[in-house]
Chains A and B, each alone.
Chain A
Amino acid sequence: MLMLTCPVCGVTAEETEFHAGGEAHLTRFGPGSSDDDFETYLFMRENPKGVHFERWRHVYGCGKWFHAARCTTTLEVFGTYSAQVTEPPKEILDAISEKRPGWTWRDLA
């Protein structure tokens, strides 16, 4: 069972109280961008076996978005953090490094 802690309201609940919002930390390329950038933004997603960063929404609770770092194979959650950041905070990266030495995800390591 996937258990997440909402960093906004502090509630720890199982997956069904939340809604998954896809991959985290995407850079949006909108009108005026190159076709390549736009295609990458629209379609190219990570599908890792292991460490992954995702957006989640506490849909049955406070209704707020947040970020989660978790392992896709064991459902272990390394941490959840604010939605208002463009990259994971250092303590989340440290927590992952401690449990999954040598991990990589896009340009993070």
Chain B
Amino acid sequence: MSKAVSALNGATWSDGIATISEVTLQGMITLRGDLSDPAIRSAATGVAAVDMPDQGQAQCTDDRGLCWMSPDELLVLCPYDEVAANIEKMQTALKGIHSLCFNVSDARAVFDLSGPNARDVLAKLVPVDLAPERFTKGMFRRTRMAQVPAAFWLHDTDHFRIICFRSQAQYVYDLLKTASACGSTVSYF
């Protein structure tokens, strides 16, 4: 089998006011189905080993987690090499229930944006209120990042994790670099 590589092969940049790094090979599974169905919820929490997130929330620790995408879509995060086994586990658990599990690990790119200015940098790019008291840990937001769709959450203090489409990884990376260029500190938050 060919060697799997992420979109930018773990590119990192820290010459500006924030650190940007691509997260390599994050396992991602899209689970579609009625999220109010206990069977679907337990299938997801079973493989992710975290609690079910509420609407608009994410439950993430390290490379495991659950992200609430819409009332019928959940993004399951797990280690890259466990994806196939986890999909099989979910499909077995969901036999006969109207649902879909699909491996999207290689169709997405994940970035880390960190540093004391991370909030300011991200706020330049997304139409979201990122004030510290408005966007808190645990929240998950799908939105628009300049011209492309993106989703992000606060992984840790001053540390955002961003997901975008793989084909747009270079665009998002360049965008984040531009927004965190030296001398562009806003210090709004």
Contacts and interface: CB of A to CB of B under 8 A. Distances in A.
Contact of B141 (A11, A14, A64): A11
Interface residues of B, number: 13
Interface stretch (B38-46, B75-83, B142-150): B142-150
Contacts of B69: 62
A61 B144 CA distance: 8
Nearest to A14: B127
B56 interface: yes
A102 interface: no
A8 interface: yes
B70 A16 contact: no
A9 B144 contact: no
Contact of A8 (B70, B127, B141, B143): B70
Interface of B: 55-56, 69-71, 73, 127-128, 141-144, 149
A13 B127 contact: yes
Interface residues of A, number: 13
A9 B139 CA distance: 13
Given A13-B128, A16-B127, A60 B55 contact: no
Given A11-B141, A16-B144, A17-B143, 13 more contacts: A8-B70, A9-B55, A9-B71, A13-B127, A13-B128, A14-B127, A16-B127, A60-B149, A61-B70, A62-B73, A62-B142, A64-B70, A64-B71
A22 interface: no
Interface string A62-106: 111000000000000000000000000000000000000000000
